[in-house]
Structure 1
Amino acid sequence: MIGRKKELAVLQRMAGSRRFEFLVMYGRRRVGKTTILQEFAKGQPVIFFPAQEKNDALNLQDFSQSLQEYFADAFLAPFPDWERAFAYFGKQAASRPEKTILIIDEFPFLAAQNASIKSILQHAIDHAWQQQNIMLVLCGSSVSFMVNDVMGYKSPLYGRITGQMEVLPFDYFDSASFFPHYSEEERLLAYGILGGIPRYLNAFDEQESIEQNLAHQVLPESTFLNDEPQMLLRMELREPVVYNSILEAIATGANKVQMIADRIHEPAGKCSKYLSVLQNIRLVRKIVPCGEARTSKKGIYILTDFYYTFWYRYVFSKRSFYALLGEEETAKRIMAGIADYMGPVFEQVCCSYLLRMAKLGALPFLPAHIGKWWGTNPVLRQQDDVDVLALDESGTRGLFCECKYQSRPMPMEEYEDLLTAAMAFPQVKKRWYVFFSRSGYTQPVRERAQREGAVLLQIPDLYSLDSTAWRNDEK
């Protein structure tokens, strides 16, 4: 199993306690929740019940069979109702010295067919399970349902939960484990195209190049990856047409509500409502300039999943044109211009790298804020940006980063641009300058960085996590 050590550690800790435990696990589809639970279940006796999109009676029958085969090694008949099924589980658990673990995967499927099941569970917990050595795990892919209807304060289960876990996609570093034979640059490209969803990463064949994988695993209509974004939208949403338009608009550069509305010819108010839904299912995120309040009017929208960004930019928006070209020629054209696509990806990867280095204690200070900054530079009296900015809690110490995914060594002009952009922050008294470049640096840049203590990094450094490249000299 790749990664997920922290998630498994949480599950093991709760399983090892001597009291009632109730964990709510959630995360978007394909992120690997079931795989984590299955791996956890290998180490101890667990009742693992995967709910399905069936009616209530059939799910109750399946659940009854799971309980009876676990406790009695035989299935006699379904329980007449969920109350009786949960009472049977509690009675059997009470007679056992070890912790009894019940996992219900895709719990929203049960609740969709029986709205009272949360109240039935709450009654079982309050009147029996809370005093027993039981561990209950409810897992679901409907993030909004799990957050609002299971953990929300209006839920009957509110106050009974002892732990919650959102399973997130892998970052660039963990995603590299799927491609042990690729070079660091190929790993970065694969991550930039597929994102951190394990199911997507598994779809690429490491024996083929990135271009060949595009031609064979993404572009043909018969492949899993080709239809995945549309299938997920159909599963999550009732009106995918407008959502498709919004996602395409964001993927192709429209990042504010009015820009999106103008692009898709819909009212801005309607777009805002649809964007809220897309945020709830973790496909869209609103970001603000680093260091500013979440309510900042400068906020913009980005797609959280790189594969959706790639798919809506290249596959969805140009499907008919690419159909005429054919998969091989299309893959070649995409790869010829991939640097433009990878620029914003590279910035986010560099930000993830800094977060990892901060956790290792390698940075000169602990960042309280980290991300991209954009706004007015009073020195230039015009709009400016910093690819990645990290500030400490007081706002007086800062890391200023330039990220260049280009096919040529970074020239002195880029070095100067970062120093100029940093002038927009006169309150930052102690500054460190960090440069990330795909293709290295010109000799003048290397010499100046040596004199001034700037950090120069390339793609292999992102994967080595070597702290010796960092200097804590205050410049």
Structure 2
Amino acid sequence: MYGRKEEMNHLKELYDSNRFEFLVMYGRRRVGKTTILQEFAENTNSIFFPAREKNDALNLEDFSKMIQYHFDKNFIASFQSWEDALNYIGAKVEQRTAVIIDEFPYIIEENPSIKSILQHTIDHNWKNKNIFLILCGSSVSIMESDVMGRKSPLHDRQTSSLEIKPFDYLESSAFFPNYSNEDKLLAYGILGGIPRYLEAFDSKLSIERNIAEKIIRNGAYLHEEPDNLLKAELRETNVYSSILSAIANGRNKIIDIANFIHEDRTKVAKYIITLQTLRLIEKRIPCGEPETSKKSIYVIKDNFFKFWFRYEFTNNSYYAMLGAKGASKEIMKDISNLMGDAFEDICKEYIIRLAKQRKLPFIPYHLGKWWGANPAIKAQDDVDLLAIDRTGTKAIFIECKFTSQPMPYDEYEDLMTATKAFPNIEEKQLWFISKSGYTKSVIEQAKKDQATLLTVDDLFDF
């Protein structure tokens, strides 16, 4: 298993506790939750039960078999109720035991009363037992509302919660040992940090061949993955797909999305909330501005969904005529445009890593892209990445370039001009991160200004 050291340490700490622990673990589909739990279970005294999309009686029977084999090495008969099964565990437990129920939402959907049964069991039976309970689920909305929410019987019973998130660019690079650093970033820009997607690429093949054979070709796992995931989670997938396509092609405000897909604005707003819950899109505001900012936009958070809706969903008929190889060549001609936004996110992840290792002049209180009016030039302006300290008096202005040519001097000047939109910031640093290096004039000016010039290789220097 790649990475996940922090997550495994979190589980180990709870397991090593000498009291009852209850962890709620969740995260979007394909993010690797089950892999983490399976590895944890292999190295501990654990009961690992993967719930299935079955009726309640069959899930209870499977659970009964598992716990009876664990404690008595024999299966007699299914328990009559979940309460009986859970009380049996409480009666049998002596040494530290982890009880793991994976995909708990499948049980809730068939038997909502399981929440009250568990609550009663915890309060009256397990609270003083040597048990570590883990409830895990891919339905983020159910885990957040039906398990941890205020109206849930289980509210406040958990002693810890853990959202499993996708890998960042550096963790994802471990999947591609044969790639150059540039290609590792390209792969991440296309696939994002979902382990199942990263595993689908073959690092012995070029990026172009992987796109052709692992995404565009009919029958490839990634070819239908976005459709399959949406169908597994949602109804009216055509509307959700249309919203994602609109965002992937540059419509970032609700009114623009609604106009593009010819749907009511209020309806679109509700669907966007659902897509946010699925961790597929996110709301962004200019760095340093409040959540209520009217400048907010929506972007696709998942790199692979961004790629798929930008290319395959929009051009599938055309690609079918071109063939997988031809389509892949066509996509590669535009890949630097896709990588523009992805590279800014990569640079943000890099800055976060530096901050965690205390390698920045300050810990950013605000970090993100900025856009808005620049009074100095009386026009709209933007900064690819802006880091501001808690006092609002120090900032790092960062330009991110993933182009095939060295960064020219006018780009350097543009960032200097953008800093004038922040007259209250007293200490300003200029950072540049460029895939293809810098022109001589940029290098000379950077020395005078003590600006920081970084390359792709620097992003891997940890």
The TM-score bracket by the shorter chain reads over 0.9
CA distance in 1, matches of 2:194, 2:417: 38
Q: CA deviation at 1:5?
A: 0.4
What residue is the counterpart of 2:18 in the other structure? 18
Map residues 166-181 of structure 1 onto 2, 5 A cutoff: 166-181=163-178
Q: CA deviation at 1:45?
A: 1.5
Q: CA deviation at 1:464?
A: 1.0
CA contact (8 A) 2:20 2:131 kept: yes
**1:268 counterpart letter in structure 2:** R
The alignment covers a number of residue pairs equal to 462
What residue is the counterpart of 1:230 in the other structure? 227
1:429 aligns with one of 420, 426, 429: 426
**2:273 counterpart letter in structure 1:** S
CA distance in 1, matches of 2:341, 2:210: 22
Residue deviations 1:417-451, cap 9 Å, x none? Answer: 00000100001000110001110001111111112
Confirm whether residue 117 of structure 1 aligns to residue 98 of structure 2: no
What residue is the counterpart of 1:139 in the other structure? 136
Residue deviations 1:293-346, cap 9 Å, x none? Answer: 111110000111000000000001100011000111110111122111111111
What residue is the counterpart of 2:328 in the other structure? 331
Q: CA deviation at 1:179?
A: 0.5
Q: Secondary structure at the match of 1:104?
A: strand
Identical-pair percentage: 55
CA distance in 2, matches of 1:271, 1:221: 31
Map residues 69-468 of structure 1 onto 2, 5 A cutoff: 69-93=69-93, 96=94, 98-465=95-462
**1:433 counterpart letter in structure 2:** L
CA contact (8 A) 2:45 2:96 kept: no
Q: Secondary structure at the match of 2:360?
A: coil
Which runs of at least 4 in structure 1 moved beyond 6 Å after TM superposition? Answer: none
Q: CA deviation at 1:220?
A: 1.1
CA contact (8 A) 2:68 2:75 kept: yes
TM-score, normalised by the number of residues in structure 2: 0.99
Q: CA deviation at 1:100?
A: 1.4
TM-score, normalised by the number of residues in structure 1: 0.97
CA distance in 1, matches of 2:237, 2:164: 25
**1:426 counterpart letter in structure 2:** P
CA distance in 2, matches of 1:42, 1:69: 16
CA contact (8 A) 2:60 2:79 kept: yes
**1:303 counterpart letter in structure 2:** I
Residue deviations 1:7-63, cap 9 Å, x none? Answer: 000100000010000000000000000000111112112100000000000000000
Q: Secondary structure at the match of 1:103?
A: strand
What residue is the counterpart of 1:468 in the other structure? none
CA distance in 1, matches of 2:130, 2:175: 38
Residue deviations 1:319-376, cap 9 Å, x none? Answer: 0011000111110111122111111111110111011001111111111010000000
Q: Secondary structure at the match of 2:311?
A: helix
CA distance in 1, matches of 2:358, 2:196: 32
- Of residues 443-452 and 242-251 in structure 1, the stretch that sits farther from structure 2 once superposed is 443-452
**1:457 counterpart letter in structure 2:** L
**1:119 counterpart letter in structure 2:** S
CA distance in 1, matches of 2:85, 2:291: 46
**1:324 counterpart letter in structure 2:** M
Q: CA deviation at 1:456?
A: 0.3
Q: CA deviation at 1:239?
A: 1.1
Q: CA deviation at 1:153?
A: 1.1
Gaps of at least 5 residues in structure 1 are: 466-475
Q: CA deviation at 1:405?
A: 1.1
Q: Secondary structure at the match of 1:317?
A: helix
Residue deviations 1:42-91, cap 9 Å, x none? Answer: 21121000000000000000000000000000111100111111110110
Q: Secondary structure at the match of 1:289?
A: coil
Residue deviations 1:112-145, cap 9 Å, x none? Answer: 0001000000010000101111100000000010
Confirm whether residue 48 of structure 1 aligns to residue 48 of structure 2: yes
CA distance in 2, matches of 1:40, 1:320: 45
CA distance in 2, matches of 1:42, 1:89: 19
Q: Secondary structure at the match of 1:261?
A: helix
Cα RMSD for the two superposed structures? 0.6
Residue deviations 1:248-277, cap 9 Å, x none? Answer: 000110000000011101111110011011
Q: CA deviation at 1:147?
A: 0.5
Confirm whether residue 27 of structure 1 aligns to residue 27 of structure 2: yes
CA distance in 1, matches of 2:370, 2:392: 14
What residue is the counterpart of 1:66 in the other structure? 66
Q: Secondary structure at the match of 2:98?
A: strand
CA contact (8 A) 2:26 2:143 kept: yes
**1:297 counterpart letter in structure 2:** K
CA distance in 2, matches of 1:21, 1:229: 36
Q: CA deviation at 1:221?
A: 1.9
CA contact (8 A) 2:371 2:382 kept: yes
Q: CA deviation at 1:245?
A: 0.3
Q: Secondary structure at the match of 1:17?
A: coil
Gaps of at least 5 residues in structure 2 are: none
